Amino acid sequence: MDLKEFIQKSYLRPWDIAIILLLTISSFLPLVVFGIQNTGTDDATKQAVLKVDGEVIKVFELKEDGPTYTYKYEAADGDYNVIEVSGDRIRMVETNCGDQICVQRGWISKAGETPIACLPHNLFITVEASDGSEDGSLIY
């Protein structure tokens, strides 16, 4: 059975095929529209916020061609964390907690990404953006 014979035996009409093709092509329209919107200039400034016990300790500016440096946070009880900032990303390099999960977490660089958390020290590092791209933000 060839294609012409199949079409004759089925209940498809010539306009049915045109409508199916039109609907299939138009289903990709949102992808194209939102893709064009997201290719605009990215003028958002990103920053990483270091919080211990809910209190902001330090804010790191994250720039794509920014410097690479380390910061050591030491608590009064002897707990310490070494944080590395490299351009527009940040990670935990070293800590004296037992499980080292925060060190294994690796780099973060996007707003809304799962934060780096050192639960034994109750320390969190989150990335925030000024353009409102993080979850729960509003722009008026």
Closest CA to 118 of 97, 135, 137, 139: 97
29 plus 56 within the same structural domain: no
The answer to whether residues 22 and 69 belong to one domain is: no
C-alpha dihedral, 36 to 40 to 45 to 50, nearest 10°: 10
Largest interatomic CA distance in the chain: 83
Residue 133 has pLDDT above 70, yes or no: no
d(CA 28, CA 20): 13
- Whole domain around residue 66: which residue ranges? 46-129
**Residue 105 covered by a domain:** yes
**63 in the same domain as 28:** no
Asked whether the predicted pLDDT for residue 125 surpasses 90, the reply is: yes
Q: Which pLDDT tens digit goes with each residue over 3-18?
A: 778 777 777 777 888 8
Q: What does the block give as tokens for 77?
A: 């009880």
pLDDT beyond 60 at 132: no
Place of tokens 């351009």: 87
- At 95-120, the pLDDT tens digits run 998 888 999 989 998 888 889 999 98
Does one domain contain both 60 and 90?
yes
pLDDT in tens, 21-31: 999 999 999 98
- Same domain? 29 vs 62: no
pLDDT, position 140: 43
**Does 130 have pLDDT greater than 80?**
no
Query: What is the value of pTM for the model shown?
Result: 0.63
Report the mean per-residue pLDDT for the chain.
84
